[in-house]
Structure 1
Amino acid sequence: MNNAPAMADKPRIIFATNNEHKVTEIQSAIGDKINIVSLKAAGIDIDIPEPHETIEANATEKSTTIHKLTNGNVFSEDTGIEVAAIGGEPGVHSAYYAGEERSAEKNNAKVLQKLGDNPNRKARFRTIISLIWNGREHLFEGVTEGHILMAPAGSQGFGYDPIFVPNGETRSFGQMTLQEKNRYSHRRIAADKLVAFLQTQIA
């Protein structure tokens, strides 16, 4: 009962995504400072297009679409993995790299096939969060540098996590708990910037 006023006082922000893995990661990164509401929890059932050629533009597309529907505070994120030896691919096309079915296994296999035995395994994850707060957009970036393994390792996380090892680690994201991943996570870095901004707005 004592928690009710505290919950009511928290800023409520819709997270413009249908990806429950991302909701879990962002909520874990943000903690209990902000009441994150997924599209599903907000009763919004749409598939937001990602038609643009940059991560920034796709993040803006998603937040703007939901802001127009709700006229409320909303944020979105778009993430890509950029592999140096294959020209920065998959980049903005990370989700559908191997086809429209959005298969993580096939996406990982395509990256590994294109890299082959190339000794340059350098890669980075890049996240952009687009926040629309009181009608104005703010962008926050998170980058995690690392390298690509020769084969997938681990079953935690999602997406490219089983083939990506962040700098300073020997394990892939797929071999880490969410708490361990948060020490390096591109989403955590961007989410921390989001929280720092919001704290200046709601103090």
Structure 2
Amino acid sequence: MNDRRQYAPATLRNRDFIVGVLRDVLPTKGVILEIASGSGEHVVHFARNFPSLVFQPSDREPDALQSVAAWLKAMGVTNVRAPMVLDVSQSPWPIASADGIICINMVHISPWETTLGLIRGAAAILPPTAPLYLYGPYKREGFATVSSNQAFDRSLRDRNPTWGLRDLEAVAAVAQSVGFSVPTIIEMPANNLSVVFRRI
């Protein structure tokens, strides 16, 4: 009754594919900030796979923060800090610096202004060459390229008109305007993308 852990089915499907990409993206040591940690399942999995890194989970929703804390306690990982309240649209962020940032499945389930806040906030705290890693579905050249993503985009906008798949080119343009590199794009299962920016 007191177990506050939440479960996101997609996490079990995508977490190992994401780890495979992160092995070539994350630094060998330092603090990795996870934005919009959600249930907390991703961050405990990453902590087990990258024991030399310290992870800082964050979310703006109290239920998510409680779930993250419950997962940390249940799994006994020692290289994850207590989750912090972080709303990317509020500046400055409550963390002064990080050696990398991970954000999974937030960009399309939030208003466009949230993505702007994410990118600007990341630019403010990341040192040169540090990665900003985004994961999720995107439009490319203005189109959701497969029918399942088109349907997903419609369903998101039906739930909230400010949500929806973002144009990857628009996200990249914003990132480059505040000092990030051209993104490295890796195709992922289920028509998702790993999008990696580096602070210049």
TM > 0.5: no
Rg (Cα) greater in structure: 1
